[in-house]
Structure 1
Amino acid sequence: MAIPDFQSLMRPVLAAVADGMPLALAVLRKQVASSFPLSEAELQERLASGKQTVINNRIGWARTYLNKAGLLCIPAKGMVQITARGLETLRTGPERITVSWLKRYPEFADFHMSRPTDTASPSEQIEPAEESTPDEQLAAAHQALMLSLADELLAQVRAASPSFFEQLVVDLMLAMGYGGSRKEAGRATQQTSDGGIDGIIKEDKLGLGVIYLQAKRWSNMVHRPEIDKFIGALTRQRARKGVFITTSDFSAGARDAALGLDIKVVLIDGSKLARLMVENNLGCTVKHVYEVRELDSDYFNEA
């Protein structure tokens, strides 16, 4: 099954502490997670940041929202306990507790709503998406911005000159840690005598290996004959590794041609090229930096 959203976890979180006794958060997470038929892969699925599992993050936010609504309290560090309001909710509340339902409590409504600034109009007030936790909303917004940036980058690359594209390939390989210095990389990518290869670049700063390159600033799809030609050129050079980069895409036949070979051939299409540029900060710059802070529980450890 799909991992439940954090609202679907609110009632199970309350039910786990229905006996009124304090419960350790770690135990709460295990009990709530085990109440759903989740596969091992789903239990281990992590957030985009990689720092926490999705299920634990959602249980944590369910606990936070219930606490802000006064249905749970935190009697001690790392502990959770149900309140009288929480017990009443289990008796008379809905089967699925939602953010909208919790807004009946003024303290929760104050917590949840993003207040407009002095210069903002009421219409600019932000209402967060209720199906996602704040961590997931932040990750989704970041992902959307990165995809939009990648689209813009690819459009710029496709409009650039062939010579600029060749330099971009060198810059990208350098940004990813290949090629040694820029001067060495420039020499390494000079046109070779083999028509199936555009250039070579050092695999590392010591030059212990080389990677052969083919770069196509095309709008049309790359088909198998081009890959076969590249593989043939690699074979003649007794090369072991090659990278074929295009601003367009590869046909299924082209992708099949690069599989199951003694030679390692990596295909980078336009979409992947743009993503690599974003990941390696090539052709783009940092616009804003937002720091997300969390409680440092060690600071409050008086033992």
Structure 2
Amino acid sequence: MAVPEFRSMMLPLLSFLGDGEARHWRDQRDSCIREFELTDDDLAETIASGGYRLDGRVQWVHTHLFQAGLVDRPRRGTVQITERGRKVLADPPDQIDATYLSQFEEYREFRSRTRKTPDDANADESTETATPWETVAAAVRENDEALTSELLRRVTTQDPAFLEKLVLRLLTAMGYGGRTGATEHWGRSGDGGIDGTIRQDELGLDRVYVQAKRYTDHSVGRPDIQAFVGALHGVQADRGVFITTSRFTQDATSYVERIANRIILIDGHRLAELMLLYNVGVQDERTFVLKRVDEDFFE
């Protein structure tokens, strides 16, 4: 048989993880070979980019299961079932697909960010009628959203110093810091709520001050912002960037809009989006070229 569509692989791969062990994705690839009795010809199937079809589908299954909270990624290249995944296996459906996974809020949010229409059937129909350009663009958006979630997860597993250095590197990649990209990581106790600075000119007359908070469930509230503003006053500064891996409360956002200081707030999702946009913590994997007729050539 040919390599099955990835939705047909979801339940078998989740079942393979049922013993609770963290498994490398290649081990799961081997389990698919056994489960679906794939031949050498099946394994040799490639896609337009040159990659193996089975490898891509196994990894895409991981993305959907991860976004639904059924598996976690404890280490690079490995996947492990979660408690939610165990509950699914305790009363398994006939098939795990996008419709089934949509019962989980995290997965619905993931789908809503990557598709205009959350209904899976309508989404499939629109994909079949889309132009090649639209299909590629939709695939890139979905891949980017999955990558954004993974980037944020990776950042939250690092220590606070990693985040502090990361945001300075990101802001430099965004063009702050002038030609030299001059940054200073304070990273010390008693820093007064400032984790780093970026010089905007050669002499350091114009500086941007940065605060980074690595939180997961805890939102950044108004008191945190007020403390940062106080730290800025202490160094006679009037502008700063406050970045967190979680989110800001409405009270914190409203406070920033009312004060004279120029404070930019960047939450976790936006942080990951900027990392992707400015190639911080990511690298290009494949390049696809879509060609069209050169009308000038035929005139």
Normalised-by-shorter TM-score class? 0.5 to 0.7
Q: 1:208 to 1:145 in 2, by over 3 A?
A: farther
Q: Does 1:241 align with 2:239?
A: yes
Q: Which runs of 4+ in 1 moved over 6 A?
A: none
Amino acid corresponding to residue 194 of structure 2 in structure 1: I
- Pick one of 206, 209, 227 that aligns with 2:206: 209
Q: 1:291 to 1:236 in 2, by over 3 A?
A: same
Percent of matched pairs sharing the same residue: 40
Amino acid corresponding to residue 138 of structure 2 in structure 1: A
User: What is the DSSP-based 3-state SS (H/G/I as helix, E as strand, rest coil) of the residue aligned with 2:243?
Assistant: strand
User: What is the DSSP-based 3-state SS (H/G/I as helix, E as strand, rest coil) of the residue aligned with 1:130?
Assistant: helix
- Which residue of structure 2 lines up, in the alignment, with residue 200 of structure 1? 197
- Which residue of structure 2 lines up, in the alignment, with residue 41 of structure 1? none
- Pick one of 168, 171, 176 that aligns with 2:169: 171
Residues 270-303 of structure 1: CA deviation (Å, up to 9, x unaligned) = 10110011011111111110011222111122xx
Q: 1:131 to 1:228 in 2, by over 3 A?
A: farther
Residues 40-97 of structure 1: CA deviation (Å, up to 9, x unaligned) = xxxxxxxxxxxxxxxxxxxxxxxxxxxxxxxxxxxxxxxxxxxxxxxxxxxxxxxxxx
Q: How far apart, CA to CA, are the structure 2 residues paired with 1:154 and 1:204?
A: 31
The Cα of 1:224 is off from its aligned counterpart by 0.9
Q: How far apart, CA to CA, are the structure 1 residues paired with 2:161 and 2:185?
A: 15
- Pick one of 289, 292, 299 that aligns with 1:291: 289
- Which residue of structure 2 lines up, in the alignment, with residue 218 of structure 1? 215
Amino acid corresponding to residue 167 of structure 1 in structure 2: K
- Which residue of structure 1 lines up, in the alignment, with residue 107 of structure 2? none
Query: Which is worse superposed, 292-301 or 147-156?
Result: 292-301
The Cα of 1:199 is off from its aligned counterpart by 2.3
Maintained 8 Å contact 1:218/1:248:
yes
Would you say how many aligned residue pairs link Structure 1 and Structure 2?
Answer: 182
Computing the radius of gyration from Cα coordinates, the structure with the larger value is 1
Q: Does 1:272 align with 2:270?
A: yes
Amino acid corresponding to residue 160 of structure 2 in structure 1: P
1:1-303 paired onto structure 2 within 5 Å = 120=45, 129-180=127-178, 184-185=182-183, 187=184, 189=186, 191=188, 195-204=192-201, 207-219=204-216, 220-301=218-299
Residues 109-153 of structure 1: CA deviation (Å, up to 9, x unaligned) = xxxxxxxx9x659x99x9982353332222111111111111111
Q: How far apart, CA to CA, are the structure 1 residues paired with 2:174 and 2:202?
A: 12
The Cα of 1:238 is off from its aligned counterpart by 2.8
Maintained 8 Å contact 1:192/1:199:
no
Maintained 8 Å contact 1:199/1:214:
yes
TM-score, normalised by the number of residues in structure 1: 0.53
Q: How far apart, CA to CA, are the structure 2 residues paired with 1:294 and 1:206?
A: 50
Q: How far apart, CA to CA, are the structure 1 residues paired with 2:182 and 2:168?
A: 10
TM-score, normalised by the number of residues in structure 2: 0.54
The Cα of 1:225 is off from its aligned counterpart by 0.7
**Two-structure CA RMSD over aligned residues (Å):** 3.2
Maintained 8 Å contact 1:190/1:200:
no
User: What is the DSSP-based 3-state SS (H/G/I as helix, E as strand, rest coil) of the residue aligned with 2:296?
Assistant: helix
The Cα of 1:179 is off from its aligned counterpart by 2.5
Q: How far apart, CA to CA, are the structure 1 residues paired with 2:176 and 2:188?
A: 18
Maintained 8 Å contact 2:198/2:207:
yes
The Cα of 1:215 is off from its aligned counterpart by 0.7
Query: Which is worse superposed, 164-173 or 220-229?
Result: 164-173
The Cα of 1:197 is off from its aligned counterpart by 1.9
Query: Which is worse superposed, 198-207 or 215-224?
Result: 198-207
The Cα of 1:182 is off from its aligned counterpart by 7.4
Residues 9-64 of structure 1: CA deviation (Å, up to 9, x unaligned) = xxxxxxxxxxxxxxxxxxxxxxxxxxxxxxxxxxxxxxxxxxxxxxxxxxxxxxxx
The Cα of 1:236 is off from its aligned counterpart by 3.4
Q: How far apart, CA to CA, are the structure 1 residues paired with 2:181 and 2:137?
A: 38
Q: How far apart, CA to CA, are the structure 2 residues paired with 1:262 and 1:167?
A: 27
Q: How far apart, CA to CA, are the structure 2 residues paired with 1:151 and 1:204?
A: 34
Q: How far apart, CA to CA, are the structure 2 residues paired with 1:120 and 1:184?
A: 49
Amino acid corresponding to residue 252 of structure 2 in structure 1: A
